């Protein structure tokens, strides 16, 4: 079910601007990998290249290879839609579909693709996904109410339920807790720990304690200056990155000394 | 236990409320300026318009001067701005109220005549009108044929314009990417917005002259002419509505492995549908009152014609136009006037209904809030 990702010599461009340069990284299946680094260093941009969301923006393109269990997702003839079915994504700001109920939001991946599903199967899928996102008990009595009526933290967990309802092999999370209070953040972090059993999780975070709490491995990105491309500085076990980094820049960043 | 009571300072003369005009000040100034205004206007001969104008000027000057002497320059400027805003509002609303009032006063006798909405002008001659005036009997004839024509022509124009306009807007927002074609379309849509309606009518007439033959005048030709006027409005309003759908929703759908066209059909358009629907309704309201393009494309009829694709057709604006310009009985234009005003009232009611429907649609389709 869950798959590994191997990235080889990836350059990411916005038009002619090189945003991220020369990334090589191997993300294991059933692990949590955290991307940390200062704002603008390209970690979100890089994350979006992992499920071909990057190219949605006009002019954006990449060079290099991203292998999902050995198959290049940027290979010729690969349909980005297939890639995205395999690699789900949770965004920084909760974005439930405003026209849909909570139930329909969870089923969005199925219904928007016009797949036939019986009511019983749909009910089971809704309950399983919401259970998986730690949201079931809070919303089980109001599944037909609009998703936009939930609190911010609940909306974010609804978005996670929506993402895992299509059962992707990999789940990408782009700063999923940056708009949430500590209690909701804790709920999402608990959830990430549970998701690890069946999914490969990649999370971008600005919160280093969060990276230390949830991830098995951590990647540190940095940027030399404005207009220069972001680079992967160091990638190692989380404990190594935070306690015994091999690069000076990493040590400065994780210990709070900048520049 | 003892409680110490701090002495309450005098509420009426608090230091914080010092130097303010009393609440009744505007009413005092209003009353005074109305009286003085009436006196001044009487010097040159009384008329209500002059009375209102002079009173308004007196009110503004009086209130601002009083406020300036008591409250200071800042408050006086505030009062001046308030007076200007209110004055502009009244100037803007007066014509509207006047139009509705005139249409009501002149239109109700026509509208209330039994059979006005249910009969056509077929067989209603100048002789009948002369009799109605001489004997004081009810005015014969009605707007049924024109109402049918207006509704059919506008409905057909809408059926043509909405798919074309909506799909154009979808192209511009979702696929155009600011390419040359998209920019060219935007430019020409803007140009189309400014086309005089008679030119649109001539275009449709000339088009059918070439394609079908000389003298082709049907409701469908008029519908084509109206859709030339409607399409740019629909494109523009739909484009704006599609633009404000947050990109996050599109990305959320893409991330679930949903194809682009399904994302547009099932996420983007439903999110924007309330705005699109009210934009379409407003576009309909804009073309339903067009006269010139219908005269040159659908001609004019006095009898009921239910076939939008064959034969000349009346509509409410052309009905009003002909009743006023060529009264059925040239010696007794009264009944024709009455019918024209009645038709005008029907048209205004139609447009108002359309606006109400637009609001209703916007409310029904709006993304649901609440918990």
The percent of residues above 90 in pLDDT, for chain B, comes to: 36
Domain limits of chain B?
Answer: 23-112, 144-365
Q: What is the mean pLDDT of residues B273-299?
A: 87
Torsion on CA atoms B276, B281, B282, B288, rounded to nearest 10:
150
Angle at B279 between CA B277 and CA B284, to 5 degrees: 95
- Window 227-286 of B: residues touching A by CB (8 A cutoff) are 246, 248-259, 262-263, 266-267, 270-271
| A174 and B248 Cβ atoms separated by less than 8 Å | no
Query: What local confidence, expressed as pLDDT, does residue B3 receive?
Result: 56
Q: Is A178 helix (H, G, I), strand (E, B) or coil?
A: coil
Q: Is the pLDDT of residue B6 over 70?
A: no
Among B256, B261, B367, the strongest candidate for a mutation testing the A interface, having the largest count of A CBs within 10 A, is B256
- Window 34-53 of A: residues touching B by CB (8 A cutoff) are 51, 53
Q: Tell me which chain B residues have a C-beta less than 8 angstroms from the C-beta of A97.
A: 249, 252-253, 267, 271
Chain A CB within 8 Å of residue B363 CB: no
Query: What local confidence, expressed as pLDDT, does residue B176 receive?
Result: 87
CB-based contact B257 A162, cutoff 8 Å = no
pLDDT tens for residues B49-96?
888 888 999 999 999 998 888 888 888 899 999 999 999 999 999 999
Query: What local confidence, expressed as pLDDT, does residue A1 receive?
Result: 63
Q: Is B124 helix (H, G, I), strand (E, B) or coil?
A: coil
The alpha carbons of chain A give a radius of gyration, in whole angstroms, of 18
Q: Tell me which chain A residues have a C-beta less than 8 angstroms from the C-beta of B251.
A: 53, 56, 89, 91, 95
Instruction: Give chain B's count of helices (H) and strands (E).
Output: 14, 0
Q: In the A/B pair of chains, how many CB contacts fall below 8 A?
A: 92
CB-based contact A145 B371, cutoff 8 Å = yes
Chain B CB within 8 Å of residue A146 CB: yes
Residue range A5-94+172-254 forms a domain whose CATH class is alpha beta
Q: How far apart are CA B123 and CA B242, in angstroms?
A: 51
Residue in chain B nearest A148 by alpha carbon:
B369
Q: Is the pLDDT of residue B1 over 50?
A: no
Among A45, A95, A151, the strongest candidate for a mutation testing the B interface, having the largest count of B CBs within 10 A, is A95
| B240 and B270 Cβ atoms separated by less than 8 Å | no
Question: A116 versus A23: which is more confidently predicted?
Answer: A23
Q: What is the ipTM of this complex?
A: 0.88
Q: Is the pLDDT of residue B273 over 80?
A: yes
Query: What local confidence, expressed as pLDDT, does residue B371 receive?
Result: 42
pLDDT tens for residues B193-206?
888 999 999 999 99
Q: Is the pLDDT of residue B2 over 60?
A: no
Q: Tell me which chain B residues have a C-beta less than 8 angstroms from the C-beta of A86.
A: 257
Residue in chain B nearest A102 by alpha carbon:
B371
Query: What local confidence, expressed as pLDDT, does residue A106 receive?
Result: 92
B263: closest CA of chain A, how far (Å):
7
Give Cβ neighbours of residue B123 (< 8 Å, ≥ 6 apart).
none
Q: Tell me which chain A residues have a C-beta less than 8 angstroms from the C-beta of B257.
A: 81-82, 84-86, 109, 113, 166
- Among the partner-chain residues A85, A99, A109, the one whose CB lies closest to the CB of B271 is A99
CB-based contact B248 A91, cutoff 8 Å = yes
CA distances from A83 to A35, A53, B139, B283 (A): 21, 10, 74, 42
Residue in chain B nearest A50 by alpha carbon:
B255
Confidence label for A195 from pLDDT (cuts 50, 70 and 90): confident
Q: How many CB atoms lie within 10 A of CB A212?
A: 18
Highest mean pLDDT among A177-181, B22-26, B104-108, B140-144: B104-108
Distance of alpha carbon B264 from the chain centroid: 31
CB-based contact B246 A95, cutoff 8 Å = yes
| A66 and A54 Cβ atoms separated by less than 8 Å | no
pLDDT tens for residues A79-109?
988 889 889 999 988 889 988 899 999 999 8
Domain limits of chain A?
Answer: 5-94+172-254
Confidence label for B368 from pLDDT (cuts 50, 70 and 90): low
Residue in chain B nearest A80 by alpha carbon:
B257
B337-340, long-range: CB < 8 A, 24+ apart: B337/B106, B338/B106, B338/B109, B338/B110, B338/B113, B338/B139, B339/B110, B339/B116, B339/B139, B339/B141, B339/B142, B339/B143, B340/B110
Q: Is B54 helix (H, G, I), strand (E, B) or coil?
A: helix
Q: Is the pLDDT of residue B9 over 70?
A: no
Q: Is the pLDDT of residue B278 over 70?
A: yes
pLDDT tens for residues A123-178?
999 998 898 888 888 898 988 888 888 888 889 889 989 998 988 889 999 988 88
Q: Share the mean pLDDT of chain A.
A: 88
Give Cβ neighbours of residue B313 (< 8 Å, ≥ 6 apart).
B149, B152, B153, B218, B219, B222, B298, B299, B301, B305
Q: How far apart are CA A147 and CA B22, in angstroms?
A: 50
Query: What local confidence, expressed as pLDDT, does residue B344 receive?
Result: 92
Chain B CB within 8 Å of residue A107 CB: no
| Lowest-pLDDT range of A219-228, B73-82, B221-230 | A219-228
Q: What is the mean pLDDT of residues A186-215?
A: 88
Q: What is the mean pLDDT of residues A3-14?
A: 90
Q: How far apart are CA A94 and CA A98, in angstroms?
A: 11
CA distances from B57 to B28, B44, B63, B78 (A): 15, 17, 10, 16
CATH of domain B144-365: 1.10.3720.10
Q: Extract the tokens encoding A113.
A: 């693709």
Q: How far apart are CA B102 and CA B96, in angstroms?
A: 10
| B110 and B104 Cβ atoms separated by less than 8 Å | no
pLDDT tens for residues B308-339?
788 888 889 999 998 888 888 778 788 888 88
Give Cβ neighbours of residue A84 (< 8 Å, ≥ 6 apart).
A51, A52, A53, B254, B255, B256, B257
Q: How far apart are CA B320 and CA B338, in angstroms?
A: 10
CB-based contact B367 A112, cutoff 8 Å = no
């Amino acid at each position: 079910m869950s798959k590994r990702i191997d990235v080889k010599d990836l350059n990411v461009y916005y038009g002619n601007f090189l945003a991220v340069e020369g990334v090589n990284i191997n993300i294991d299946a059933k692990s949590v990998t955290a991307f940390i680094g200062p704002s603008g260093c390209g970690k979100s941009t890089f994350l979006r290249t992992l499920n071909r969301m990057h190219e949605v923006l006009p002019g954006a393109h990449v060079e290099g290879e991203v292998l999902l269990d050995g198959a290049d997702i940027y290979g010729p003839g690969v349909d980005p839609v297939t890639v995205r079915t395999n690699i789900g994504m949770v965004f920084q700001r909760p974005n439930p579909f405003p026209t849909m109920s909570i139930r329909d939001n969870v089923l969005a991946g199925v219904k928007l693709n016009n797949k036939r599903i019986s009511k019983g199967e749909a009910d089971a899928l809704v309950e399983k996904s919401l259970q998986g996102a730690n949201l079931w008990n809070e919303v089980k009595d109001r599944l037909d109410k609009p998703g936009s009526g939930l609190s911010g933290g609940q909306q974010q967990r609804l978005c996670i339920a929506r993402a895992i309802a299509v059962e992707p092999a990999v789940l990408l999370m782009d700063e999923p807790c940056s708009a949430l209070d500590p209690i909701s953040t804790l709920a999402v972090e608990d959830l990430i720990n549970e998701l690890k059993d069946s999914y490969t999780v990649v999370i971008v975070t600005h919160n280093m304690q969060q990276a230390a709490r949830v991830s098995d491995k951590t990647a540190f990105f940095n940027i030399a200056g404005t207009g220069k491309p972001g680079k992967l500085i160091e990638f190692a076990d989380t404990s190594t990155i935070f306690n015994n980094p091999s690069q000076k820049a990493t040590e400065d960043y994780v210990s709070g000394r900048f520049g | 236990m003892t409680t110490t009571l701090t002495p309450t300072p005098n509420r009426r003369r608090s230091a914080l409320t010092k130097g303010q005009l009393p609440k009744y000040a505007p009413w005092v100034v209003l009353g005074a300026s109305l009286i003085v205004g009436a006196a001044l206007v009487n010097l040159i001969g009384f008329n209500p318009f002059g009375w209102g104008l002079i009173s308004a000027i007196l009110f503004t000057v009086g209130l601002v001067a009083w406020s300036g002497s008591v409250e200071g320059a800042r408050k006086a400027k505030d009062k001046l701005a308030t007076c200007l805003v209110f004055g502009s509002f009244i100037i803007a609303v007066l014509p509207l109220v006047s139009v509705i009032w005139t249409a009501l006063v002149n239109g109700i006798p026509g509208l209330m005549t039994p059979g006005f909405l249910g009969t056509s002008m077929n067989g209603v001659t100048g002789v009948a009108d002369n009799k109605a005036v001489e004997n004081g009997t009810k005015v014969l004839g009605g707007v049924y044929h024109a109402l049918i024509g207006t509704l059919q022509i506008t409905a057909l124009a809408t059926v043509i314009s909405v798919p074309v306009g909506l799909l154009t807007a979808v192209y511009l927002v979702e696929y155009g990417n600011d390419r040359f074609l998209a920019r060219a379309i935007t430019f020409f849509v803007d140009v189309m917005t400014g086309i005089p309606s008679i030119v649109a009518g001539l275009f449709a007439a000339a088009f059918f002259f070439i394609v079908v033959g000389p003298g082709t005048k049907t409701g469908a030709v008029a519908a084509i002419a109206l859709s030339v006027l409607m399409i740019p409005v629909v494109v523009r309003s739909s484009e704006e509505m599609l633009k404000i759908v947050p990109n996050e929703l599109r990305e959320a759908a893409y991330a679930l492995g949903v194809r682009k066209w399904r994302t547009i059909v099932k996420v983007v358009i439903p999110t924007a549908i309330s705005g699109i629907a009210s934009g379409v309704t407003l576009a309909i309201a804009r073309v339903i009152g067009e006269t010139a393009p219908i005269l040159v494309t659908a001609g004019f009829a006095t009898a009921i014609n239910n076939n939008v694709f064959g034969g000349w057709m009346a509509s409410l604006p052309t009905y009003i136009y002909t009743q006023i310009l060529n009264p059925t009985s040239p010696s007794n234009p009264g009944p024709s006037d009455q019918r024209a005003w009645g038709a005008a009232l029907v048209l205004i009611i139609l447009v108002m209904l359309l606006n109400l429907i637009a609001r209703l649609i916007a409310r029904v389709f709006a993304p649901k809030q609440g918990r």
